[in-house]
Structure 1
Amino acid sequence: MRIKAVFFDFDGLIVDTETHEYQAWSRIFKGHGAELPLEDWSICIGTMDHNFDPVGFLSNVTQQELDRIALIQEHREEYHRGAFTAPLMEGISERLEEAEELGLKKAVVSSSTYDWVGRHLAIRQLQERFDLIQTSEEVTRTKPDPQLYLLALEKLNLAPDEAIVFEDSAHGIDAAKAAGLYAVAVPNSVTSHLPFSNADRVLGSLSEISLREFL
């Protein structure tokens, strides 16, 4: 295997926005005397194609009629406050530098919107370091569907065996494998309980791997 490119998921892989999103909802639930089980929240991780409604879930658990707009706004403010100040995940800077030293193309492939991903990359001065930022606006289905990865391969004129993928979620790994890519799972605190049997490798962090292994 001799790669020409590295594909990175964004949420939970470059920046751990996912933990902040879950924690913000968890605090709202606790404020209403309830718990948000991580197992129930997991359906949301790594995809936009889900039907989990945290406000509806909380309303059912508490048997209370809730102010949906107010709760969503409360969550948004707390979530964004944590996510936009979160540090890069361990090993990201090193792998980006290594990819640049080796002349590899670098892409972000995310189920999120370009506005969300682009804003995060811009404030961390990372946007210009990627050859491609592939987000959800150009596909009809997000991960675990392979559309995002297939489109990224097409745009960079690559065959599946010419790139590797780093993902933190099972949905992301499944999408990468469905596109024929070599997929490495790097779980975070809210995805470590997920099954990663479909991954080619599972790491504790991106500091545990060298891209030179794939040249």
Structure 2
Amino acid sequence: MKYNAFIFDMDGTLVHNMPIHNQAWSDTLAEAGIQIDIEQFNRATTGKKNSEILRLVLGEHVTDEQIAYWSERKEVLYRQRFACCREPLPGLLDLLEQAHALRLPMAVATAAPPENVSFILDELDLRRHFKAVVGAHDVKNGKPDPEIFLKAAAALGVKPESCLVFEDALAGIEAARRAGMDAVMLCTTIEAHEVQGQPHVVRAVPDFTHLDLPTLLG
């Protein structure tokens, strides 16, 4: 097989939740007196940790206390709004079961805080599929820095080049490239043409139902 392990982003990849995240950010920042263009904001911040996002928007002089307050405010709004409609992306569960049958180790690599990781992985009973979960508190830098994917590969005990990443954002696709990993783009956040011509992007699909695992593994 060409790949010995799978690494999944979470938001926008395991679940289709980025519009909810973006609206929660818009409403939270409005409370802080800042108006944003959601599309531009999404492109500039996807894959980044909350602390990185808030420093980008509020300025480098923002305090740790302010970051903690606004980050928690945003995440509470997000979880309240997504709780009623959270479900795995179509085809995800079948892909995970097939990968398990082939004994492929899998990890989640996400910029989400621990509460959001539990909100998705535990509430949807997905955590049992993954040998490792690397989150925002485990890395210094968010995507497109490759740190999170390299740590996930290390946690799985595999070489980076043997991993296939599943992502929905340009920052994540770039992080995979920098880590020396191929990637599958889930087009829940951006259009397929935006990654056209990138040799490490092996597929760009709307959801997991469009993937055939034996073909993907070569």
Query: TM tier, shorter chain?
Result: 0.7 to 0.9
Q: Give the drift of 1:106.
A: 1.2
Letter in 1 for 2:83: F
Do the aligned residues in 1 keep the contact of 2:79 with 2:119 (CA within 8 Å)?
no
Whether the 8 Å CA contact 1:8–1:108 is kept in 2: the answer is: yes
Q: Distance in 2 between matches of 1:73 and 1:149?
A: 25
Of the structure 1 ranges 168-177 and 38-47, higher mean CA displacement relative to structure 2 is found in: 38-47
State TM-score, norm by structure 2: 0.78
Return the offset for 1:119: 3.1
Residues 70 and 150 from structure 1, CA distance in 2 versus in 1: closer, same or farther, beyond 3 angstroms? Answer: closer
Name 1:41's counterpart in structure 2: 42
Question: Residue 6 of structure 1: CA displacement?
Answer: 1.0
Aligned to 1:64: none
Distance 1:191-1:148 versus aligned 2 partners, 3 A rule: same
Residues 62-101 of structure 1 aligned to structure 2 (within 5 Å): 75-85=74-84, 86-101=86-101
69-78 or 92-101, which moves further after superposition? 69-78
Deviations 1:161-200 (A, max 9, x none): 3221100000111111111111111121x43388324333
Q: Percent identity?
A: 24
**d(CA) in 1 for partners of 2:29, 2:140:** 32
Backbone CA RMSD of aligned residues? 3.0
Inter-CA distance 154–70: structure 2 relative to 1 (3 Å threshold): closer
The secondary structure found in structure 1 opposite 2:111 is coil
CA distance in structure 2 between the aligned counterparts of 1:87 and 1:21, rounded to whole angstroms: 15
Equivalents in 2 of 1:164, 1:170: separation in Å? 16
* Structure 2 contact 13–168 (Cα < 8 Å) conserved: yes
| 1:38 alignment partner AA | E
Contact 1:16 1:83 in 2 (8 A): no
CA distance in 2, matches of 1:136, 1:74: 17
Segments ≥4 residues shifted beyond 6 Å: 27-32, 69-74
* Alpha-carbon distance, 1:73 to partner: 7.5
> 1:106 and 1:26 mapped to 2: Cα distance?
33
Instruction: Encode CA deviations 1:117-171: one digit per residue, 9 max, x unaligned.
Output: 1332111111122111111222211110001111111122212232211000001
Q: Paired residue for 1:118?
A: 118
Structure 1: gaps (5+ residues): 57-68
Q: Cα–Cα, structure 1 residues 82 and 42, in superposed 2: closer, same or farther, change >3 Å? A: same
State the partner residue of 2:208.
206
Distance 1:209 1:28, change over 3 A: same
| CA contact 1:169–1:194 (8 Å) conserved in 2 | no
Asked whether the 8 Å contact 2:165–2:176 carries over to 1, the reply is yes
Letter in 1 for 2:205: L
SS at match of 2:164: strand
Counterpart of 1:79, as a letter, is Y
- Measure the CA separation in 1 of the matches of 2:170 and 2:23: 20
Superposition TM-score, scaled by structure 1 size:
0.79
Shift of 1:78: 3.6
1:123 counterpart SS class = coil
Equivalent residues of 2:185, 2:192 under 8 A apart? no
Cα gap change, 1:180 to 1:71, in 2 (>3 Å): closer
* TM-aligned CA distance change 1:36 to 1:159, over 3 Å: same
Aligned residue identity for 2:2: R
Please say if residues 7 and 106 of structure 1, whose CA atoms lie closer than 8 Å, have aligned partners that are also in contact. Answer: yes
Give the residue type in structure 2 aligned to 1:146: P
| Paired AA for residue 47 in structure 1 | K
Query: How many residue pairs end up in the alignment?
Result: 201
